[in-house]
Amino acid sequence: MADAGGCREVAVLARGGMGPEGERHGLVRLAVENPGWDTAVAGQFAMLRPVCFGQELTWARPLSLFGVTPERLEFFIQVAGRGTRRLAAMNPGDRLVLWGPLGRGFAVEPDTPTLLLAGGVGLAPFAPYIAAHPRPDNLRLVFGHRPPLAAYPFAEMAATIQAESFHEEKPGDLDRFTALLRERIAGYRDGLVLACGPRPFLSAVADMGRAAGARVQVSLENRMACGVGACLGCVEKDASGELVQTCVRGPVFWAKDLEAFSGHHGTPGKNGGCACGN
Amino acid sequence: MADAGGCREVAVLARGGMGPEGERHGLVRLAVENPGWDTAVAGQFAMLRPVCFGQELTWARPLSLFGVTPERLEFFIQVAGRGTRRLAAMNPGDRLVLWGPLGRGFAVEPDTPTLLLAGGVGLAPFAPYIAAHPRPDNLRLVFGHRPPLAAYPFAEMAATIQAESFHEEKPGDLDRFTALLRERIAGYRDGLVLACGPRPFLSAVADMGRAAGARVQVSLENRMACGVGACLGCVEKDASGELVQTCVRGPVFWAKDLEAFSGHHGTPGKNGGCACGN
Amino acid sequence: MRELGVDLAGLALKNPVITASGTFGYGLEFSRYGDLKTLGGICVKGLSLAPRQGNPMPRVAETPCGMLNAIGLQNCGVETFVRDKLPFLPWRDTAVIANLYACEAEEFAELAGVLAAEEGVAALEVNISCPNVKAGGILFGQDPAMAARVTEAVKKRAGVKPVMVKLSPNVTDIAAVARAVEAAGADILSLVNTLSGMSVDVFSRRPRLANVIGGLSGPAIKPVALRCVWQVCRAVGIPVIGMGGISSAEDALEFILVGAHAVQVGTANFLRPDFAFRLVEELPPLLERLRVSSWEEFRGTLKVE
Amino acid sequence: MRELGVDLAGLALKNPVITASGTFGYGLEFSRYGDLKTLGGICVKGLSLAPRQGNPMPRVAETPCGMLNAIGLQNCGVETFVRDKLPFLPWRDTAVIANLYACEAEEFAELAGVLAAEEGVAALEVNISCPNVKAGGILFGQDPAMAARVTEAVKKRAGVKPVMVKLSPNVTDIAAVARAVEAAGADILSLVNTLSGMSVDVFSRRPRLANVIGGLSGPAIKPVALRCVWQVCRAVGIPVIGMGGISSAEDALEFILVGAHAVQVGTANFLRPDFAFRLVEELPPLLERLRVSSWEEFRGTLKVE
Ligand SMILES: Cc1cc2nc3c(=O)[nH]c(=O)nc-3n(C[C@H](O)[C@H](O)[C@H](O)COP(=O)(O)OP(=O)(O)OC[C@H]3O[C@@H](n4cnc5c(N)ncnc54)[C@H](O)[C@@H]3O)c2cc1C
Ligand SMILES: Cc1cc2nc3c(=O)[nH]c(=O)nc-3n(C[C@H](O)[C@H](O)[C@H](O)COP(=O)(O)OP(=O)(O)OC[C@H]3O[C@@H](n4cnc5c(N)ncnc54)[C@H](O)[C@@H]3O)c2cc1C
Ligand SMILES: Cc1cc2nc3c(=O)[nH]c(=O)nc-3n(C[C@H](O)[C@H](O)[C@H](O)COP(=O)(O)O)c2cc1C
Ligand SMILES: Cc1cc2nc3c(=O)[nH]c(=O)nc-3n(C[C@H](O)[C@H](O)[C@H](O)COP(=O)(O)O)c2cc1C
Ligand code: FES
Ligand code: FES
């Protein structure tokens, strides 16, 4: 177990577009050797650093666990910049350094009606969430996306739980998507709402959840250098004004525990920064 | 023609070990698209910068032309460090930036008995030299090597001209090789001796050639950043004490024109350096 | 080479590999990735008297072969460190070095006083790359006289703990600062801290760090760091700990070749969290290849004409 | 954006892309790779009164995302330049900027005198990153007073040619040097020159440069360069030319975003010899994407709170 949780160099086993349309939209599924992880929880993530980063790209990139079998770990990658471009271009046999599973995953409450809200690649952690949930009948998924639906693993996921998707194509669609979200969330008073996607999406969900009396968890994608709590680059202000590391105390947080998502204005931080650059 | 001589991004067409044993010894043959070169002379070189260098490896790497057809340029690469390792690992379709043909090649005197002396990967420029020479019967090759002969394109070259090889395996072999070189060179009074290989090898050849009354050309492998005469990083002192760019005034020089190979001690350079680092 | 240990003015290390301040948390974050006891030393994140929040986000940015940070010295405060972190570190095996951060000389001295009493602390590292509030914000480390004053103040309160002063490379003449600090009683010097740098995004027209300016680290700065260490080793008689961009065993030995007694590894801990543990393992075979049989025989033997 | 041209205190450029001194030879070396007339400007290799040989070999070394050089200002001398190179450069279309190198203020002035008479020279760039022989070898650019003295001396002899002073980043306070040079009459500032650095080989135990220390350039230094340019732009009123690690159109715009009027590209000319020509072509589409319709609307508009 200590070993399983360490840092290992592994090989890529397979790469492919996500769905028939994925590759064209920079949405790629990557399978790598499982170095012995068995206890991962949906919402946890790994740091991946392809050997081809050399010294040029300093940091590993954080990716949510998308699938775990005894033989392989799967990731769902959206090309967003230099690092994900290289990750998404890896071929079977190429090697990468990997550590995890990291952070805290989503709450699982088998008997609570649970609403899963995903924006774009934020869909990733919900695949293993659904797979591991003992009562899929208690789950419902709403998925917003811009590239075509066929570029996402939506169909597989919709096969086991109640699910609907919303295609954002033109300006104005966002408002209609928000209205849809509000309507769905309204039905989850005392229920669980789990959200993963871009920050503005998470903010909106947290606000609506609060209004509806739902308990909300959000998964943050703060910039990360180390993934292990050491660099203090990924911090988020909690409800008490303390800066906590997203990589170890998150990436999944209860919305009410974070200043930015709790609806309260925080107190200005005590003892601010230093201009020295450390 | 101006176009042909420019800088172009081209694709790798083929890569393979040199001979049956090459790959194992880091001796690789790389074929890339010919962007329109038609006038290259043996001994000229190209600068190659694979796209995968990213920003990490700053400089392109200089490689002698090993073969030129209207469709392809061929290079013969020995893995020596970070850059040649990446070059030698390129696959068909991978892209690189390339400029040339650069510098001055070997003298061709059809009717002069000409001795070709190659050390290791220094064999590269002699393949096109032999191929283009109008009187191959006037050519003779002596080739010294450490990896097995089957890792070099020696057999193909020996098929058309008189050629012998010498395998340096143990300490002491070097002396026997030197003796062989001296013996061969002795037969070239007023003839042409062309040498390519490590610097100590070139020095020895220049000394022996002078003693024998032969005219000697050496091909230098000074470290190069630009390949076009601009950075002044590759300079060599000529017989008059002037520092000249190996990339444009060489890489092939008459030994007598260079201070280090002419047998004369040069005058100390006038107006030495500046500590500012430019 | 049998004996990897080094002794620096009373600071004994089982090997010359120390993790750099701010890049290894309080050490415990890495126990999942290796055995902390195998490290030569651990410099913990800069400690101040009171807990600190640091700068607003974003406060890290990736750059070519390096990174910028403007964490702003977020830390739990010296008391919490002593109570909740130090006891769990393997300080009998591995030197735990406290990195001190303050805005005034008196604060530095007070911090030293607190830590001098702690058995688990092997040495104090004084971070003088931070602004002197009383002197209008100029960095302590950018003025030899101010750097000397801080050194003296800390030294007075440090008891038997060796005092290590960590130099900034953002100066015209680093050797001058080094000499001033040596004369003021420093036992050891460590260098370099980060280079002052900046990164911006032309699309948003915003700086990539909320603080605008941050500290550059990683392989990109290694040539500058190596030059600084070489200049300082020639300028002082006390032992020097080199750092800046080390990301392989070869890199580590480069710093020792130019005169350092030990090294710190910083940003490389982000390349992979077991980096420092692996580095310790990679040193002996490399030393073997280089036929080095003792540090004395290698340290500072750069051949210059 | 229609109008790429910029005017810097009398130095008119058709676009803000200038090739940096020492990385573009005398310009002619690159005519095979592009049309020199398309460039905004060409800074030629540092010129001295007499021809110079420079430092012993090796004098370049590759480093992570960068390189070191210690060429030692090898050049053909100002006379040969004026006679054999300048006439062949397209100086009516593209600003040819002479980079001046000397060891004493009087030498700088004499050089300026020679070049002031040349119609083909658009401006003089004074390289103050070199040691002042009279002052015991400290760099002109490391002391505001010395930098000012050189500026004045050059300015007196430069006639109508704009005088551009090129600053060294190897100082504690680059804004102070910039202000001193501005006060002394400089028309334009250019920065940064190379960072002082070093590289060694643990196998041979030798420095990778015969000169031991050299100048670091390339993407590795971009964060430091950008910080320097930002600081200087806030400190002076005269136009600034930014450089250091530029290797894409985006990089170039970053320097303009923090306040520069134009940029120089150096090491990137070694990535591929047509780099500067391509950069000129890549600017308009990028500006389009950013919806920038004039330089005024973009320059110095970094949003800082
Ligand atoms: C816990 C966690 C889980 C994630 N899971 C997934 C996943 O399953 N699939 C997926 O495709 N992506 C995921 N991401 C986002 C992914 O890590 C980033 O897209 C990636 O790191 C960007 O790197 P890049 O080099 O491609 O982009 P860069 O070129 O580095 O930057 C592109 C843009 O993204 C910003 N950025 C840099 N690093 C991050 C970061 N770590 N997170 C967000 N933005 C960043 C940059 O500032 C820049 O604006 C996750 C992020 C986190 C923190
Ligand atoms: C005109 C010319 C023609 C050449 N032709 C061939 C050829 O046909 N086939 C071939 O395999 N090699 C050839 N070389 C040598 C080849 O360019 C070098 O081996 C290569 O540049 C080393 O790069 P690297 O990144 O692999 O090694 P690095 O990691 O950069 O360095 C390995 C060692 O080589 C030294 N070195 C760096 N650059 C050069 C250089 N340009 N030349 C020599 N040593 C260098 C370094 O200092 C170091 O000691 C030629 C060189 C020149 C100048
Ligand atoms: C994220 C981060 C935080 C740092 N925090 C500190 C600190 O608290 N105190 C300190 O003296 N140095 C701090 N440093 C500087 C490092 O200890 C080290 O001096 C510098 O990063 C150069 O080494 P490197 O290139 O190996 O990282 C920090 C560096 C980084 C990257
Ligand atoms: C090989 C080389 C030679 C240089 N020669 C000079 C010079 O003669 N005069 C000068 O002012 N700067 C010289 N420089 C510095 C560059 O002009 C430029 O300031 C520096 O390289 C930073 O820009 P870059 O990162 O784009 O290369 C030289 C740089 C290099 C790499
Ligand atoms: S990523 Fe380093 S502390 Fe979270
Ligand atoms: S390699 Fe630049 S001048 Fe020859």
Average pLDDT over residues D97-104: 94
pLDDT digits (tens, 9 = 90+) for C216-265: 999 999 999 999 999 999 999 999 999 999 999 999 999 999 999 999 99
Give the pair of three-digit tokens for residue D189: 């500032």
Q: Are D287 and D50 in contact (CB under 8 A)?
A: no
Give the pair of three-digit tokens for residue B13: 């067409």
Cα separation, C28 vs A191, in Å, equals 37
Percentage with pLDDT > 70 across chain D: 98
> Is A4's pLDDT higher than 80?
no
Within 8 A of C193 by CB-CB distance, chain A residues are: 276, 278
Distance from CA of B93 to the nearest CA of A (A): 14
Cα separation, D39 vs D41, in Å, equals 5
From the CA of A84, give the closest atom in ligand 1.
26
CA–CA distance from C1 to each of A108, C88, C247 (Å)? 54, 31, 21
Average pLDDT over residues A51-58: 96
A97: Cα separation from own chain's centroid: 20
Neighbour-count burial of A196, counting CB atoms closer than 10 A to its CB (0-12 exposed, 13-18 middle, 19+ buried): buried
In a domain, residue A133? The reply is yes
Give the pair of three-digit tokens for residue C98: 């406290």
Residue D257 and residue C200: Cβ atoms within 8 Å? yes
Same domain flag for A73 and A131: no
Distance from CA of D219 to the nearest CA of B (A): 7
> Is D89's pLDDT higher than 70?
yes
Mean pLDDT of chain D: 95
pLDDT band at B238 (very low <50, low <70, confident <90, very high): very high
Do you find a cis peptide bond into A171, omega within 30 degrees of 0? no
Contact of B55 with chain A, judged by CB distance below 8 Å, is answered with yes
Single-letter code of the amino acid located at C142: Q
Average pLDDT over residues A158-164: 94
Pair type for strands C195-198 and C213-217: antiparallel
> Is A18's pLDDT higher than 80?
no
Give the pair of three-digit tokens for residue D6: 């910029």
pLDDT digits (tens, 9 = 90+) for A183-220: 999 999 999 999 999 999 999 999 999 999 999 999 99
pLDDT of residue B165: 95
> Is C134's pLDDT higher than 60?
yes
Percentage with pLDDT > 70 across chain C: 98
Contact partners, residue B229, CB within 8 Å, separation at least 6:
B245, B247, B248, D25, D29
**Domain boundaries, given as residue ranges, for chain D:** 6-297
Closest C-alpha to B232, from D272, D199, D44, D115:
D44
Assess whether the C-beta atom of D132 lies below 6 angstroms from ligand 4.
no
Average pLDDT over residues B149-161: 93
pLDDT digits (tens, 9 = 90+) for B203-229: 999 999 999 999 999 999 999 999 999
> Is B144's pLDDT higher than 60?
yes
**Is the whole model's pTM more than 0.80, yes or no?**
yes
pLDDT of residue A23: 84
pLDDT of residue B38: 86
Chain C residue closest to B54 (CA)?
A: C64
Give the pair of three-digit tokens for residue A112: 């609570």
Cα separation, D291 vs D288, in Å, equals 5
Residue C253 and residue D301: Cβ atoms within 8 Å? no
Average pLDDT over residues C139-166: 95
Give the residues across from A64 on adjacent strands: A45
Query: Count of CB contacts below 8 A, A vs D?
Result: 4
pLDDT digits (tens, 9 = 90+) for D13-45: 999 999 999 999 999 999 999 999 999 999 999
Is residue D134 a known part of a binding site?
Answer: no
Closest C-alpha to D72, from D210, D269, D190, D164:
D210
> Is B46's pLDDT higher than 80?
yes
CATH number at B33 reads: 2.40.30.10
The question of whether C130 is a catalytic residue gets the answer yes
Mean pLDDT of chain A: 92
Give the pair of three-digit tokens for residue A77: 């990658």
Q: DSSP H helical segments within B213-269, as ranges? A: 246-249, 259-262
Chain D residue closest to C211 (CA)?
A: D304
The domain over range C6-297 is classified in CATH as 3.20.20.70:
yes
For chain C, give the secondary structure using H, E and C.
Answer: CCCCCEEECCEEECCCEEECCCCCCCCHHHCCCCCHHHCCEEECCCECCCCECCCCCCCEEEECCEEEECCCCCECCHHHHHHHHHHHCCCCCCEEEEEECCCCHHHHHHHHHHHHCCCCCCEEEEECCCECCCCCCCEHHHCHHHHHHHHHHHHHHCCCCCEEEECCCCCCCHHHHHHHHHHCCCCEEEECCCEEEECEECCCCEECCCCCEEEEECHHHHHHHHHHHHHHHHHCCCCEEEECCCCCHHHHHHHHHCCCCEEEECCHHHHCCCHHHHHHHHHHHHHHHCCCCCHHHHCCCCCCC
pLDDT of residue D136: 65
Give the pair of three-digit tokens for residue C178: 């080094």
Closest C-alpha to D42, from D90, D82, D112, D83:
D90
Within 8 A of B56 by CB-CB distance, chain A residues are: 54-56
pLDDT digits (tens, 9 = 90+) for C79-89: 999 999 999 99
Contact of D117 with chain A, judged by CB distance below 8 Å, is answered with no
Cα separation, D295 vs D261, in Å, equals 8
Same domain flag for A28 and A119: no
Give the pair of three-digit tokens for residue D249: 């159109």
- B219-233: string of b/e by CB count within 10 Å (b at 16+)? bbbbbbbbbbbbbbb
Same domain flag for B74 and B124: no
Residue D219 and residue B97: Cβ atoms within 8 Å? no
pLDDT of residue D165: 97
From the CA of B234, give the closest atom in ligand 2.
53
> Is B270's pLDDT higher than 60?
no
Same domain flag for A134 and A51: no
Cα separation, B127 vs B147, in Å, equals 18
Residue A253 DSSP SS3: strand
- Angle, to 10 degrees, between the axis of helix C222-235 and the axis of helix C174-183? 40
The B-side interface with D (CB below 8 A) comprises: 2, 5-7, 49, 55-60, 97, 99, 222-223, 225-236, 241-243, 248, 269-278
pLDDT digits (tens, 9 = 90+) for A88-143: 999 999 999 999 999 999 999 999 999 999 999 999 999 999 999 999 999 999 99
Do you find a cis peptide bond into B128, omega within 30 degrees of 0? no
Within 8 A of A272 by CB-CB distance, chain D residues are: none
> Is C129's pLDDT higher than 60?
yes
Q: Which of C48, C188, C267 most suits a substitution to test ligand 3, by most atoms within 8 Å of the C-beta?
A: C267
Residue B88 DSSP SS3: helix
In a domain, residue B72? The reply is yes
Residue B229 and residue D214: Cβ atoms within 8 Å? no
From the CA of B62, give the closest atom in ligand 6.
1
Cα separation, D247 vs D113, in Å, equals 35
Single-letter code of the amino acid located at B128: P
Residue D265 DSSP SS3: strand
Query: For chain A, what is the domain count?
Result: 2
Contact partners, residue D211, CB within 8 Å, separation at least 6:
B273, B275, B277, D55, D56, D59, D70, D72
pLDDT band at C139 (very low <50, low <70, confident <90, very high): confident
Centre of ligand 5 to C-alpha C265, Å, is: 17
pLDDT of residue C191: 97
Contact partners, residue B80, CB within 8 Å, separation at least 6:
none
Closest C-alpha to B62, from B98, B113, B29, B11:
B98
CATH number at B119 reads: 3.40.50.80
pLDDT band at A172 (very low <50, low <70, confident <90, very high): confident
Assess whether the C-beta atom of A224 lies below 6 angstroms from ligand 5.
yes
Cα separation, C212 vs B228, in Å, equals 39
Assess whether the C-beta atom of A252 lies below 6 angstroms from ligand 5.
no
Same domain flag for B164 and B78: no
> Is D2's pLDDT higher than 80?
no
> Is B268's pLDDT higher than 60?
no
Same domain flag for B65 and B123: no
For residue A190, how many other CB atoms are within 10 A of its CB?
A: 10
pLDDT of residue A3: 47
Centre of ligand 4 to C-alpha A120, Å, is: 46
Residue C45 and residue A232: Cβ atoms within 8 Å? yes
Closest C-alpha to D105, from D46, D164, D145, D161:
D145
Give the pair of three-digit tokens for residue D236: 């002076």
Give the pair of three-digit tokens for residue A179: 């209205």
Chain D residue closest to A55 (CA)?
A: D64
Average pLDDT over residues D212-232: 97
Residues having CB closer than 6 A to ligand 6 are B 224-227, 229-234, 245-247
Mean pLDDT of chain C: 95
Closest C-alpha to D59, from D219, D194, D215, D166:
D215
| Domain-terminating residue out of B100, B128, B143 | B100
Contact of D271 with chain A, judged by CB distance below 8 Å, is answered with no
Residue D86 DSSP SS3: helix
Closest C-alpha to B102, from B56, B43, B150:
B43
pLDDT of residue B39: 80
> Is C66's pLDDT higher than 70?
yes
H or E segment to which residue A244 belongs: strand A243-245
Assess whether the C-beta atom of C100 lies below 6 angstroms from ligand 3.
no
pLDDT of residue B2: 40
> Is B93's pLDDT higher than 50?
yes
In a domain, residue A160? The reply is yes
Same domain flag for A161 and A76: no
pLDDT of residue B5: 64
Residue A54 and residue B55: Cβ atoms within 8 Å? no
Centre of ligand 2 to C-alpha B222, Å, is: 8
Mean pLDDT of chain B: 92
Token pair 């801290």 is found at: C193
Cα separation, C101 vs B73, in Å, equals 60
pLDDT band at B59 (very low <50, low <70, confident <90, very high): very high
Domain that holds residue B187: 114-221
pLDDT of residue D1: 76
